[in-house]
């Protein structure tokens, strides 16, 4: 369990340090081009993955509460897995998923309280005098990684439209979740193995 906790802590520190730096250094929509295929693009996600929203205010609240419940479930699951002594690959996978989920929950829960709203002209201030931009659980998740690795036009028989791969903008917490899910698939036999059933002999 100690190794899992170190993984979670390490991901959280890196994730939050990067998000806070971007939030307090970039205007909304600003780019930092590191390479043609590697761009830091500051955007904020108010809802689910890829910016999906549902249900307005109540939908956002339910989503935040669902995320918290999910994290509690994953933590209990991780603790049980470590007690079973499963291979390290499975422990690392679940720890990464938990760390990523926690990283994004921190944004949703607290960023609205501690940051000024970002826009295309103003860099947000941390702990502004007039308060944050949203109440508890209504903050936006900071995203920044943009990898337009392949650009071009589809063949005419597919419409000939311009396309970019990979288009979604994501953060380190999202990457940790995706990596964790990949590792979980590779280690699924060890993680989801059934406990041997004890044979109970009936007394005559």
Name the strand (E) or helix (H) holding 13. Answer: helix 2-23
Active site residues: 143, 174
Tokens representing 122 are 């103003």
Which residues contact residue 89 at a Cβ distance below 8 angstroms, ignoring those fewer than 6 apart?
183, 186, 187, 190
Residue 50 sits at φ, ψ, to 5 deg, of 65, 25
What is the distance between the alpha carbons of residues 197 and 204, in angstroms, rounded to a whole number?
A: 21
Omega of the bond prior to 125 within 30 degrees of 0, cis? no
Rounded Cα–Cα distance for residues 159 and 164 (Å): 14
Cα 167 to its chain centre, rounded Å, is 17
| Structure tokens belonging to residue 204 | 């005559």
Q: Are 104 and 173 in contact (CB under 8 A)?
A: yes
């Amino acid at each position: 369990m100690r190794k899992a906790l170190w993984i979670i802590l390490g991901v959280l520190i890196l994730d939050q340090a990067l998000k806070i730096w971007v939030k307090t250094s970039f205007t909304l929509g600003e780019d930092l081009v590191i390479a043609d295929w590697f761009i830091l693009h500051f955007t904020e996600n108010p809802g689910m993955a890829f910016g999906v929203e549902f249900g307005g205010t109540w939908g956002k609240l339910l989503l935040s509460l669902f995320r918290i419940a999910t994290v509690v479930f994953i933590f209990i699951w991780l603790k049980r897995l470590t007690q079973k002594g499963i291979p390290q690959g499975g422990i690392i996978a679940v720890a990464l998923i938990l760390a990523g989920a926690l990283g994004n929950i921190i944004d949703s829960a607290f960023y609205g309280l501690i940051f000024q709203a970002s826009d295309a002209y103003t860099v947000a201030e941390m702990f502004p005098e007039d308060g944050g931009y949203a109440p508890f659980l209504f903050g936006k998740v900071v995203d920044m990684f943009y990898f337009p690795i392949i650009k071009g036009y589809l063949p005419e028989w597919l419409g000939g439209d311009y396309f970019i791969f990979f288009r979604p903008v994501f953060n380190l917490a999202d990457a940790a979740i995706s990596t964790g899910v990949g590792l979980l698939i590779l280690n699924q036999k060890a993680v989801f193995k059934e406990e041997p059933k004890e044979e109970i002999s009936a007394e005559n």
